[in-house]
Amino acid sequence: MTQSRLDSLAQALPQNTLFKGSLLAPYTTIKVGGKAGLLMEVSDAQQVAMALAQARRMDIPVLLLGRGSNLVISDAGFDGLVIHFGQDFAQVTVEGTAIRAQAGASLMNVSRIATDECLTGLEFAAGIPASIGGATLMNAGAYGSEMASLITDVECLNPQGERLWLKKEELGYGYRTSRMMREGYTVLSIIMALRHGEQEMIRNLVADYQGRRREKQPITWPSAGSFFKRPEGYYAGALIEAAGLKGLKVGDAQVSELHCGFLINLGEATAEDFFNLAKLVQQRVQTASGVMLETEVRLIKGSVL
């Protein structure tokens, strides 16, 4: 990517929302990643559509970034435009048993709002550190529940930049995937259908799930969440542990000793440490069990998505 092309893009975007050379590590839960060519903080759908259209016209790669909980960004950064859905794109409204949330809203915050409103169905999300946009794209889930069971409508931009609403039957959900993810749609906001419930029961269920996470997941260490998808008929963490990889380290990246499905940052890890550790885990698990683990976490290397 030439600097002149990035400069041309910068001139076409609102200057008060644009930042050059921002370090991306603080925007991710695993705390690694180099600098963005350009980073844009968006506050409305028109800004998102304009930025995507300008980048497409100039053939500049784009990375959509919410709470950064399911990706590892290269130490070299992202040589293109990073569109950040942050607090200015995080409105949440409740109408009856329906919740509408913008893409930048924290999934955990939306779960708290549902609890306060005595709405049940979203308790499983109380400890998932994702944005609504990311959780919608990848069909985030836990404890036998997932976003696909709640979402009724998604406001998005298609790959051609057209703004539209997709109904539940058009979303093409599967395990940690969706039509939107596969075809390159951009989530703007969603509507979820919950149910009225008894608040004490909702709070107790949330507390139970959070207690399980504290007990079984390395939530005190920076991580990107479950690093590998669950292979059919197996559990990734169990396969990794059976291969003798608990505690395996590359640099300051480590296979968690509490839950082997998580790769954690011991403090000074680099993205390259995680790339190499993930590859080593995949190779050794395949040798030990014949199963090739597929990463659930997105690995962003340079401007290659």
Instruction: Report the C-alpha gap between 128 and 146 in whole angstroms.
Output: 11
Instruction: Report the C-alpha gap between 134 and 132 in whole angstroms.
Output: 6
Tens-digit pLDDT profile for residues 59-101: 999 999 999 999 999 999 999 999 999 999 999 999 999 999 9
Considering the candidates 176, 223, 230, 256, report the single residue annotated as catalytic.
Answer: 176
Q: Do residues 69 and 134 touch, judged by C-beta distance below 8 A?
A: yes
Does 304 have pLDDT greater than 90? Answer: no
Does 51 have pLDDT greater than 50? Answer: yes
Supply the pLDDT for residue 302.
67
145 is catalytic: no
Supply the pLDDT for residue 3.
81
Residue 263: phi and psi, rounded to 5, are -105, 125
The CATH architecture annotation of domain 3-87 reads: 2-Layer Sandwich (3.30)
Residues 6+ apart with CB under 8 A from 114: 99, 120, 121, 122, 123, 194, 202
Domains 3-87 and 218-300 belong to one CATH topology: no
Instruction: Report the C-alpha gap between 269 and 276 in whole angstroms.
Output: 11
As a whole number, the mean pLDDT across the chain is 95
Tokens standing for residue 301: 């290397």
Supply the pLDDT for residue 222.
98
Does 263 have pLDDT greater than 70? Answer: yes
Classified as helix, coil or strand, 133 is helix
Q: What angle do CA 130, 204, 97 make, to 5 degrees?
A: 65
Residue ranges of the domains in the chain?
3-87, 90-201, 218-300
Supply the pLDDT for residue 303.
59
- Amino acid occupying residue 31: K
CATH, range 218-300: 3.90.78.10
- H-helix or E-strand containing 71? strand 71-73
Tokens standing for residue 140: 């985030």
Supply the pLDDT for residue 301.
86
Is it true that domain 90-201 has CATH number 3.40.140.80?
A: no
1 pLDDT tier (thresholds 50, 70, 90): low
Write down the pTM of the prediction. Answer: 0.94
- Amino acid occupying residue 177: T
Tens-digit pLDDT profile for residues 28-48: 999 999 999 999 999 999 999
296 is catalytic: yes
Instruction: Report the C-alpha gap between 114 and 52 in whole angstroms.
Output: 32
Residue with tokens 């749609």: 185
Does 168 have pLDDT greater than 50? Answer: yes
DSSP 181-203: HHHT-EEEEEEEE-EE--HHHHH
Tens-digit pLDDT profile for residues 242-257: 999 999 999 999 999 9
Considering the candidates 123, 146, 241, 296, report the single residue annotated as catalytic.
Answer: 296
DSSP 73-87: E-TT-EEEEEEE--G
Tens-digit pLDDT profile for residues 195-229: 999 999 999 999 999 999 999 999 999 999 999 99
305 pLDDT tier (thresholds 50, 70, 90): very low
Supply the pLDDT for residue 4.
85
226 is catalytic: yes
Residue with tokens 């609504």: 132
Does 146 have pLDDT greater than 60? Answer: yes
Considering the candidates 22, 69, 131, 226, report the single residue annotated as catalytic.
Answer: 226
Tens-digit pLDDT profile for residues 101-144: 999 999 999 999 999 999 999 999 999 999 999 999 999 999 99
Instruction: Report the C-alpha gap between 103 and 156 in whole angstroms.
Output: 10
Residues 6+ apart with CB under 8 A from 137: 178, 180, 181, 185, 187
